[in-house]
Amino acid sequence: MDRENQRREESRPIAQQTPQALPRERGRAEMKREVEQVVAQRIAAADLLVQPEGEVGQGACLARSPDVEPTVRRPEDRIGENAIIIKVKTRPQRSSKGSQRGAEQKKPLTHVQVRAYVKRPKNAAERKARIAEILRILDEMYPAATCALRHDNPWQLLVATILSAQCTDKRVNEVTPGLFAKYPTPEDFAAVRPEVLANDIRSTGFFNNKAKSIVGAAKKVVNEFHGEIPRTIEEMLTIPGAARKTANVVLGTAYGIASGVVVDTHVQRISRRLDLTKEKDPVKIERDLMKIIPQDRWIRFSHQIILHGRALCQARAPECNECQLNPVCYAKDKRV
């Protein structure tokens, strides 16, 4: 090709030039620029959002505030600057009056949390009325609530209650018939060595400590209370293995003496959910409950709340939809 022809070729658009007419380096640069321009024009025409590959998939990054327009960035700048592969995500066109509908469409409809409105008591009279309502509902839900531990006398109930620590009542009820057949009286328990008794109660867990407590309790009852379980909380608390919870269970269930409120794990949790206390320590919870629950309800209230904790108001997933206390309960972890 002579000089004149080459000048004529170069004056034509690149796309129409013959490959022989292009110097190698210049041709590549021109082609690249043209490709980038075409890509940029197409992206801009489609109003597409350009996002680096590392960010694609992070949906929240794509959400556009209804009243703030995104900063305009030229896609070709991004390509040249980062030299990365890009992925493009389209966004639905927003109509001028449809911005609200558009915002709703962006939100996923799953996991919608619904909060029920429950009125909180504002003064002492309302608090009192609410507690009366809670007690009434508990009576309706659990009219025959009582202790689930099988026993024939106060001593057996004391032993069963000591065994029930960190163990289910069901398991204790499986163990005690054989145990009381083998050791019928407190004197029999007082005479046995703790290591031997530990083997008999192994399946209830913590058997070494429980065996020591039961043997110690038997010796105390035989030596100081003539083989009879005492009837006051003060005396009960001197028996090895009998803290306030055990003492309240035995006095309330075996003798019908309302010495306090039984505060086990269910009573702790549900009292806080029902806003009957804000305390975490069982002794302080009991003190709060004894102030607001009438004394003639202490025994029944404990049994009812324990049953409620097992039946519906479980720690992880309370069955609030089936709970009659729902209209008076504003627990934070309530499920509706």
Q: Is 169 a catalytic residue?
A: no
Asked if 245 is an active-site residue, the reply is yes
Q: How many residues does the chain have?
A: 336
Least spacing, CB of residue 314 vs ligand SF4, in Å = 8
Q: Does 131 engage in binding with ligand SF4 (CB under 6 A)?
A: no
Tokens (6 digits) for 304:
């009812």
Residue closer to ligand SF4 (CB basis): 273 or 300: 273
- Interface residues for ligand SF4 in 273-332 (CB under 6 A)? 273-274, 312-313, 318-320, 323, 325-326, 329, 331
The region that residue 97 occupies, defined by phi over 0 for left and psi between -120 and 50 for alpha, beta otherwise, is alpha
The site that binds ligand SF4 (CB under 6 A) totals a number of residues, namely 13
User: What span, in angstroms and rounded, lies between the C-alpha atoms of 50 and 69?
Assistant: 14
Nearer to ligand SF4, 12 or 310 (CB): 310
Are the C-beta atoms of residues 36 and 80 closer than 8 Å to each other? yes
DSSP for 172-217 reads HHHHHHHHHHHS-SHHHHHHS-HHHHHHHTGGGS-HHHHHHHHHHH
Q: Which is nearer to ligand SF4, 151 or 308 (CB)?
A: 308
Whether 119 and 133 have beta carbons less than 8 Å apart is answered as no
Which residue from 91, 212, 272, 334 is in contact with ligand SF4, where contact means CB under 6 A?
334
Integer angstrom CA distances of residue 126 from 120, 138, 219, 272, 325? 9, 18, 50, 18, 16
Q: Which is nearer to ligand SF4, 48 or 292 (CB)?
A: 292
Name which of 212 and 272 has its Cβ closer to ligand SF4: 272
Question: What CA–CA distance (Å, rounded) separates 261 from 284?
Answer: 11
The least distance separating ligand SF4 from the CB of residue 336, rounded to whole angstroms, comes to 8
**Least separation, in Å, of the C-beta of 273 and ligand SF4?**
5
Residue 235 CA: distances (Å) to CA of 185, 212, 220, 247, 253: 20, 19, 11, 9, 17
Shorter beta-carbon distance to ligand SF4: residue 221 or 274: 274
Q: State the nearest-atom distance from the C-beta of 118 to ligand SF4, in Å.
A: 9
Show the tokens assigned to 66: 């209804």
As measured in angstroms, the least distance from the Cβ of 309 to ligand SF4 is 8
Q: If we measure between CA atoms, which residue out of 259, 244, 225, 258 comes closest to residue 155?
A: 225
Given the residues 139, 169, 200, 264, select the one marked as catalytic. Answer: 264
Q: State both tokens at 15.
A: 């796309």
Positive or negative: CA dihedral 77, 81, 82, 85: positive
Give me the least distance between CB of 332 and ligand SF4, in Å please. 9
Task: List, by residue number, the catalytic residues.
Answer: 245, 264
Footprint of ligand SF4 (CB under 6 A): 273-274, 312-313, 318-320, 323, 325-326, 329, 331, 334
